[in-house]
Amino acid sequence: MSDQPRRGTRIAHIGIAVRALDELIPFYRDVLGLPETPLDDADGARIAGLAAGDSLVELLQPEEPQSPIGKFLDKRGPGIHHVCFNVDDLDATLARCRTAGLTLIDEQPRIGAEGKRIAFLHPKSTGGVLIELSEY
C-alpha cells in the first residue's frame, strides 16, 4: 500500500501507431493546437508527445520492423495502439485485475518511459483494447 496521496485513475496518454511522426505531428500540433512535449524513445519506438490538457497523445513510430509497434503496423495498420491509465497504486490495481480474471501481459510491474512503474493488460480480456497502467 502506497503512502502517496491518491489522485484517482485518469487517462495518462493514448498511444497511436504511425508510420512516420512527421506526417501526423502537424495535424495534432498545428490543426488541433496541442503543444509538443519531448519524450524519450521506448520499446523500439520514437515517440512524439502532444499535450491534450492533463493527458497526452503519443505518436509511436517504430524504429525497427520487429519492435512491438512495427509488428502492430504490419498486422493492423496505423491507428490507436493502446490507452494508458495513471493509477495510484499499481500493485493493488494488478491484484484487482488478477482477482477479476484478466490476462496480464506484465505479471510484475516494469519500468517504462519516464522511469514510471508500468504494466500492460492483454486486449483479449479488455474488449480488444491494449491497456497500459502507469503509477503516478
- Tell me how far apart the alpha carbons of residues 29 and 32 are, in angstroms, rounded to a whole number: 6
Q: Between 132 and 135, whose beta carbon lies closer to Co ion? A: 132
- Give the nearest distance from C-beta 106 to Co ion in angstroms: 12
- Give the nearest distance from C-beta 42 to Co ion in angstroms: 8
For the sheet containing 55-62, what is the strand order? Answer: 36-38, 45-52, 55-62, 10-17, 79-87, 131-135, 117-121, 110-111
Handedness of CA 119, 51, 42, 47 (dihedral sign): positive
Judged by DSSP in three states, 133 sits in: strand
Considering only residues 11 to 40 of the shown chain, the ones binding Co ion according to CB under 5 A are: 15
Contact residue for Co ion among 48, 61, 132, 135 (CB under 5 A): 132
Considering only residues 47 to 106 of the shown chain, the ones binding Co ion according to CB under 5 A are: 84
Q: How many of the chain's residues bind Co ion (CB under 5 A)?
A: 3
Q: Which residues are near Co ion by CB under 5 A? A: 15, 84, 132
